[in-house]
């Protein structure tokens, strides 16, 4: 019996890379969203939420277009690396970063918004810079929200299908993730293999969500 180990490994690599990138980009973006008074904020908020409502094919179509050899990004990438960006691991990584953006930014921003503003101001008055205040006060008090954002991003990327199919095609070892492998099995009428891989993905996703909810602060744990 063959599980799709190669596909599973690729999915996990993709999810880990996506989570790392979205944590690095999402924390500052979310903190900015949670604290800015700029009116244009709502447009940025709407933009980060778009992947939630867009069909993956639409997002995938635009990303594919942006990665192609005729776009400035695609051309620049090819000039630097010598390989095309479309149908590559880097290509689906970029696509899944965009597609998972709300799963990171929204929990981050919600957690930051719950941090009492006066704690931040107290920290400033004690001489801590804005960046130091973020790391010493805001982030520790938002830990549960940040962790759940990272977990959701990871899980969502593992389950990503439409965008990756659009952007990555189906290149074993490069862009053939576990969800696409399942699709392949069904296409090939290999229902047994599809069932095995599906069960694997199902139990993984369930476990992730259990961990996420277990990490959520309960009412009794909330500080006074």
Q: How far apart are CA 10 and CA 12, in angstroms?
A: 5
- Dihedral through CA 135, CA 138, CA 143, CA 147, nearest 10? -80
Q: How far is the CB of 25 from other proteins (least distance, A)?
A: 25
Residue 123 in the binding site for other proteins (CB under 8 A): yes
Q: Which of 42, 43, 47, 119 binds other proteins (CB under 8 A)?
A: 119
**Distance from C-alpha of 178 to C-alpha of 198, rounded to nearest angstrom:** 9
In whole angstroms, give the CA distance from residue 142 to residue 159: 26
36 dihedral zone (left: phi>0; alpha: psi -120 to 50; beta): beta
Contact 8, 196 (CB under 8 A): no
Q: How far is the CB of 80 from other proteins (least distance, A)?
A: 40
Q: Which of 113/141 has CB closer to other proteins?
A: 141
> Which of 126, 195, 199, 202 lies at the binding interface for other proteins (CB under 8 A)?
126
Site track for other proteins across 24-43, x = CB under 8 A: --------------------
Give the one residue of 128, 144, 171, 209 binding other proteins; rule: CB under 8 A: 128
124: contact with other proteins by CB under 8 A: yes
């Amino acid at each position: 019996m063959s599980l799709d180990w190669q596909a599973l490994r690729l999915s996990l690599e993709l999810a880990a890379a996506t989570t790392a990138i979205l944590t690095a980009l999402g924390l500052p973006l979310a903190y900015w969203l949670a604290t800015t008074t700029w009116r244009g904020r709502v447009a940025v908020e709407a933009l980060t939420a778009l992947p939630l409502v867009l069909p993956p094919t639409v997002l995938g179509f635009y990303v594919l277009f942006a990665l192609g050899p005729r776009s400035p990004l695609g051309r620049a990438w090819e000039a630097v690396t010598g390989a095309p960006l479309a149908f590559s691991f880097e290509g689906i990584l970029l696509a899944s970063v965009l597609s998972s953006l709300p799963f990171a930014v929204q929990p981050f921003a919600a957690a930051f918004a719950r941090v009492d503003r006066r704690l931040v101001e107290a920290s400033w008055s004690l001489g801590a810079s804005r960046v130091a205040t973020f790391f010493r006060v805001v982030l520790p008090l938002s830990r549960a929200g940040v962790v759940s954002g990272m977990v959701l991003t990871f899980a969502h990327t593992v389950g990503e299908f439409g965008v990756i199919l659009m952007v990555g095609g189906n290149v074993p070892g490069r862009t053939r993730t576990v969800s696409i492998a399942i699709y392949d099995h069904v296409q090939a009428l290999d229902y047994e293999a599809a069932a095995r891989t599906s069960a694997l993905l199902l139990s993984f996703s369930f476990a992730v969500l259990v961990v996420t909810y277990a990490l959520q602060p309960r009412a009794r744990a909330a500080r006074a």
